[in-house]
Amino acid sequence: MMHKINFVRTLFLLLIVFANIGCDQLSKNVVRNHINPTETISLLNNHLVLMNVENTGAFLSLGDTLAAPYRIFLLAILPLLALISALIYLLFFQHYNILLAVGLSFIVGGGLGNLIDRILRGSVTDFLFIHSSLFRTGIFNLADVAIMFGSSLLIVPALLSAVKRQLS
C-alpha cells in the first residue's frame, strides 16, 4: 500500500513539473511565432502588456553583461545542478509535506522551462508585463510565474508558522 501511495505522489509531482515545462514552452513558442520583437499588445486598459523580449540574463536581466564563461556557469550550469538536486530530493526523499512537494515541483518545472530556453536559444523569452497604480512588474514569462507560485507555497506556511509561534 505504501509503494502505491509513493508512486501516485511521485506521478502527481512529475505531472506538475512537466505541465509547467509544457505550458511555459508552448506559451513562449506562441509569442516567438506571433509577436514581433518590436510589437506590444495592450490588454485590460494597458494594465497587461504582451511583448516579445529575449533576456540573456536572469531575473530582471541580472548577469546579462557577464562574460560568456561566467554567464554560462552562473545562469546555466549552477541552476542545472540546483534543479537536478531539487528533483532528486523531490523524488527520493518523501518525508516532507505535500505543500512543500507541490511548491518544489512548481519551482523545478519553472526553472527547467527557463533553462531549456537558455541552453537551446542562449536567452529566455519573456513576454508579460503588468502595471497598475499599485505596482509594476518586470517583463516575465510563465516559468517565472511557476517559480514565484512555488516559492510562495514554501514561504507562506513558514511565515504563518513563525507568526503562530510568536503568538503562543
Q: Which residues are catalytic?
A: 126, 144
The answer to whether the CB of 47 falls within 8 A of the CB of 130 is yes
Residue 50, phi then psi, degrees to nearest 5: -100, 140
Q: Closest by alpha carbon to 114, among 34, 166, 54?
A: 54
Q: List strands edge to edge, sheet with 48-55.
A: 40-43, 48-55, 124-130
Query: Measured between alpha carbons, how far apart are the two ends of the chain, in Å?
Result: 38
Q: How far apart are CA 135 and CA 118, in angstroms?
A: 28
Q: What are the contacts of 158-166 at 24+ separation with CB within 8 A?
A: none
C-alpha cell at 17: 513539473
The answer to whether the CB of 89 falls within 8 A of the CB of 12 is no
